[in-house]
Amino acid sequence: MNQIVQILGVPLDHGAGRRGVGMGPGALRVAGLHGVLAALGRELLDLGDIDIAAPETLTPGDMRARYVTLIAAVCEQVCRRVRETLDDDGFPLVIGGDHSVAIGTLSGIASHLRARRDRRWESPPGLLWFDAHGDINTPDSSPSGNVHGMPLACLLGKGSPLLTDIGFAGAKLEAARCAVIGVRDLDIAERELLKASGVRTFTMAEIDRRGLATVMDEAIAITSSAQHMLHVSFDVDVLDPTVAPGTGTTKPGGLTYREAHLALEMIADTERLTSFELVEVNPTLDWQNQTAVLAVELIASALGKRIM
C-alpha cells in the first residue's frame, strides 16, 4: 500500500447522452478527494485533467457511435498515462467523465501487462464493473449511439476498431475474469449480448435474494487472484438515485449507501486492488454536490478506510 496514487481527470462527456458529466473530475476534487486520500496516509500526485474539445465545436460523425473519433483520441491519451503510472509502480485513480473513459484505462492496464514490465502479474487483469447497465452494446446494437454504453464490448474486442485497437489490437479482457455488479436496466439486444459474453452478471434482483456480501464474495473469487491485477470500474449510476442523484442515467432500485461501502470495503480487504476508476458524476444534476461527496467516500473505502 505504499504506491503513489496518481489521479488522472478525464472530463469526457462526448460518450453520454447529455452534457455535464465532463465536470465530474472537478466536482470530486471540490468534494475533498485530496484531503481524504491524505487522511488515509496515501501519497498522491494529481496529474490534472486531459484537455478535451467541447462537443459543440465538433460534429458527432457516425451516429451509431457518436464522437467516436474524439473519444478514441482521448482514450489513447488515457491509455498512455495509465500505462506510465503502472510502469512507475504507481496506483492509477482515474476520475471521469463518462464511462467510455474505461476503454482507455483498461487498455493502459493491458498494455502495461503485455509489455511485461512487471512480471509479478499475468495477463489479462481481473475486472469488477459496477453499473446499472451492461455497457456491452456495439454500434450495431445501440439504440442511442452513445459510446458510454459500449465500453465493455470494446474491451472484449467487439465494436469500432478505433476503440478496440487502443494500446494494441483486440480484446483487453478475458470474460471469465470479469464481473458486472448491480445491473437493473438492459436494452433487449444488450441483454442477449451480455448473456453470450461469458461475463458473470450479478443483477440487483440476485443481490436482493442472496445479499450483497455473498455476491461480493463470489465476484471477488472470479476476478481476484495473487497472479492478476485487479481493476474496479465504478459507475455511480449503480447507486440508488436517492443517495446519488447526480448522474445522467438514474434508475431506481440501486445499491444503498451501506451496500456500496461494504462492496468496496470487501475489495480493499483483499489487498489486491491495483487500479480504480470512478465515472458518471454529473454536477448539473446533483444537489449540493452530494453525489461527488459520496463518490469520494467510496474511493476512500476502496483504498482502505475503515470505521475501526
Question: Does the annotation mark 118 as catalytic?
Answer: no
Question: Does the annotation mark 280 as catalytic?
Answer: yes
Question: Does the annotation mark 235 as catalytic?
Answer: yes
The residue annotated as part of the active site, out of 49, 76, 99, 112, is: 99
The residue annotated as part of the active site, out of 49, 98, 131, 240, is: 131
Please report, as a single letter, which amino acid is at residue 5.
V
The residue annotated as part of the active site, out of 265, 280, 286, 297, is: 280
Spatial CB neighbours of 274, under 8 Å, sequence gap ≥ 6? 86, 91, 109, 125, 229, 230, 231
The residue annotated as part of the active site, out of 112, 133, 228, 231, is: 133
Using alpha carbons, select from 240, 238, 250 the residue that is nearest to residue 285: 250
The residue annotated as part of the active site, out of 13, 76, 135, 297, is: 135
Question: Does the annotation mark 88 as catalytic?
Answer: no
The residue annotated as part of the active site, out of 187, 237, 265, 277, is: 237
The residue annotated as part of the active site, out of 14, 76, 112, 148, is: 148
Question: Does the annotation mark 228 as catalytic?
Answer: no
User: CA 124 to CA 217: how far, in whole Å?
Assistant: 21
The residue annotated as part of the active site, out of 13, 49, 187, 235, is: 235
Other beta carbons within 10 angstroms of residue 9's beta carbon come to 23
Spatial CB neighbours of 216, under 8 Å, sequence gap ≥ 6? 181, 262, 263, 266, 267
Question: Does the annotation mark 237 as catalytic?
Answer: yes
Question: Does the annotation mark 14 as catalytic?
Answer: no
User: Measured between alpha carbons, how far is residue 257 from residues 175, 182, 270 in Å?
Assistant: 28, 13, 21
Q: Give catalytic residues, as residue numbers.
A: 99, 131, 133, 135, 148, 235, 237, 280
